[in-house]
Structure 1
């Protein structure tokens, strides 16, 4: 999603977001007209009982301001946030409190050009759209609703016309990775600010799909890291934090120092991961490290989001990468990367375990006969 104010600035040396998250993903509802095969929320046609009321939602916005300055950026997601009848009121409420807002809507008839223009007028800073294939057969097969591919491209063109910056999210699985070249070519014909390659986490409906192997994922990340230099838009990853390690390795081999890397634009996003710079609030008010790490640390109906993020044991543990288990705990890149805590939890049941998608062997774990020159 979009880059909130300050995200591109120089990060603190410890890369820990103890005071406040950079981004709050707020699931306004699980109601959605789509039935995507990888849906984290297991969205449904109608709103679920117990969603935060308008007054509770506005109270949550009040609470978010207690994080201080700079304030987190709020991404209103779902389900489909367009299904909330009070969406405009919540956006205005965030603006009145000095909070930046972006949207992650579903592509349905509710996402009309007029509605996007209204979102622009409400000062929505950016919007994300999901595009999971270069042709209708691929995309609609994931989204489970015929015509969604054409509707998504139409929505992207309309967003360009009304002037809302767009991030495109693309699901990466063993079955979809071969379409990335064609996807890239397609996206070069539109104006987008960022292309996010989302490496599948097997939660929700996503458990029905197949993640890439570590070796294939590494090769994919290396390739697109190299191609990102010439891309007309920024390329980032979601739940593939080793992309940062690969970037750092490339820069170190080119002669950059650690300090130069940390102070460069290449470090944008370094350190951010589930529970460290990111927090998720569900439609019921449950607070989790991320939507892909659905372990609740409490509910905003009972306790301040600020306290739940700063003080609960799981959240604090997720901000101490040197105490992670296995290779992630001893990796010389763990402050910059830290691995996917959501994938570790999905595969092992322990969010502090090593990320099973990363094949990198840390320097301290290599045998003497296999030791490579130090990169850091």
Structure 2
């Protein structure tokens, strides 16, 4: 088999510590994005974590141990917080890598980017939802967002900041995805993330994709993975697709016929070919990381409430009263979501459930049951024709056994963190 490690697993036991912590630092934002999870508003909420409370949150993250989880400050628009650079610097002092996920607004200036770079930001993620100003600005609700985003992108790259580009996959841009990838390839990015909508916040009013359309887009994302490093957000069955495509490449089977891909995939693949996106520029694909809501991922709201995802509005506690380490490791919600045997419907009987698990956020958004089957997955358990090869690949790709927990010890003393590479391979749910 050409590449037995198709899925990357977290280096640490996901029951002990998350890979990534997203903090919704504020809901204040001048944009009016059609899909906004936070239903952002123009003004800051007086209940937000203030500077001392945010610094305490950073210490709680450091208490998970070294290396600490990646900490992403998002919103709303984090540039609405005057203490943003102070918090980035403090994170470095206590041993926490801090990345920033701002909105494309007039606050996204070269001077602001220089400030967060000087403060020690590990990287930046930006949203690009179309290849043209008309489509992107229409989706974001404000004229000029497209230009601000591209200018900030180029400036960040010139400063040496690692840049991740997030694209919301929705009806408005299904035919534009190849052009977006071309922009990512031209401007350069550490990672392109295709985010699949979850029906929360304003996104409830947007048209939903069908499972077959999702399957087509996931396979397109796989195709362009040798041109740009690509991942998905809230489409955990991309890990299934990666495993299937690896096996089909090894067996020489036609993936279009075997997987039953449809006209959307064929159109995207043809457009990608026309744009030169199928001419491999990278030697290896970026394997998707096995992270899911509550399993390597945690979201902290602007008021300090803790959720398995920014799109899964079930409350497991608050960092003002309970340490984040305790909430993540012991709350019934988080421990339950880490148990694949609790999954229902097709997810519960699926041979891919331990490396996929489906979007718990979308399951909850459409059924009010976080353990329900993934509504945007059309796979029928057991239908993949190469089950023996799949079993061998899953066994070869299994994570190592979790290490025996070390005796409890006090949090490590603050240690400055050298400028690390920003590698937000976790699911950046909650990014604008």
Confirm or deny a common fold (TM above 0.5): yes
* Secondary structure of the corresponding residue to residue 73 of structure 2: strand
* Secondary structure of the corresponding residue to residue 16 of structure 2: coil
Candidates 358, 366, 370, aligned match of 1:351: 370
Contact (CA 8 Å) 1:274, 1:342: kept in 2 or not? yes
Candidates 214, 233, 236, aligned match of 2:231: 236
Residue 311 of structure 1 corresponds to 330
Contact (CA 8 Å) 1:241, 1:340: kept in 2 or not? yes
Candidates 224, 247, 250, aligned match of 2:242: 247
Between the aligned partners of 1:299 and 1:314, the Cα distance in structure 2 is 13
Q: Which has the higher contact order (CA 8 A, sep 6+)?
A: 2
Contact (CA 8 Å) 1:271, 1:338: kept in 2 or not? no
Residue 203 of structure 1 corresponds to 200
Candidates 291, 303, 313, aligned match of 1:294: 313
Residue 89 of structure 2 corresponds to 92
Contact (CA 8 Å) 2:8, 2:290: kept in 1 or not? no
Between the aligned partners of 1:194 and 1:347, the Cα distance in structure 2 is 29
Candidates 183, 187, 190, aligned match of 1:193: 190
CA 16–328 in structure 1, closer or farther in 2 if over 3 Å, else same? farther
Residue 322 of structure 1 and its aligned partner are, at CA, apart by 2.5
* Secondary structure of the corresponding residue to residue 125 of structure 2: strand
Residue 153 of structure 2 corresponds to 156
Residue 179, structure 1, aligned to residue 176, structure 2:
yes
Between the aligned partners of 1:16 and 1:213, the Cα distance in structure 2 is 34
Candidates 95, 108, 113, aligned match of 1:111: 108
Residue by residue over 1:250-305, the C-alpha shift from the partner in whole angstroms, topping out at 9 and shown as x without a partner, is 2233449xxxxxxxx86844320111111000000000001011111111111111
* Secondary structure of the corresponding residue to residue 353 of structure 1: coil
Residue 406 of structure 2 corresponds to none
Between the aligned partners of 1:320 and 1:266, the Cα distance in structure 2 is 29
Residue by residue over 1:328-375, the C-alpha shift from the partner in whole angstroms, topping out at 9 and shown as x without a partner, is 112111111111000000011011111010111111xx6xxxx84413
Residue 339, structure 1, aligned to residue 336, structure 2:
no
Candidates 21, 26, 30, aligned match of 1:29: 26
Residue by residue over 1:161-200, the C-alpha shift from the partner in whole angstroms, topping out at 9 and shown as x without a partner, is 1111111111101232111112122222202111110011
CA 132–159 in structure 1, closer or farther in 2 if over 3 Å, else same? same
Between the aligned partners of 2:62 and 2:370, the Cα distance in structure 1 is 28
Contact (CA 8 Å) 1:175, 1:210: kept in 2 or not? no
Residue 71, structure 1, aligned to residue 68, structure 2:
yes
Residue 380 of structure 2 corresponds to 361
Contact (CA 8 Å) 1:32, 1:46: kept in 2 or not? yes
CA 77–11 in structure 1, closer or farther in 2 if over 3 Å, else same? same
Between the aligned partners of 1:72 and 1:268, the Cα distance in structure 2 is 19
CA 268–20 in structure 1, closer or farther in 2 if over 3 Å, else same? farther
Contact (CA 8 Å) 1:16, 1:319: kept in 2 or not? no
RMSD of aligned Cα (Å)? 2.0
Residue 289 of structure 2 corresponds to 270
Residue 83, structure 1, aligned to residue 102, structure 2:
no
Candidates 273, 287, 298, aligned match of 1:279: 298
Contact (CA 8 Å) 1:270, 1:337: kept in 2 or not? no
Residue 11 of structure 1 corresponds to 9
Contact (CA 8 Å) 1:30, 1:44: kept in 2 or not? yes
* Secondary structure of the corresponding residue to residue 87 of structure 2: helix
CA 90–155 in structure 1, closer or farther in 2 if over 3 Å, else same? same
Contact (CA 8 Å) 1:172, 1:197: kept in 2 or not? yes
Contact (CA 8 Å) 1:82, 1:110: kept in 2 or not? yes
Equivalent pairs counted in the alignment come to 352
Residue 109 of structure 1 and its aligned partner are, at CA, apart by 2.0
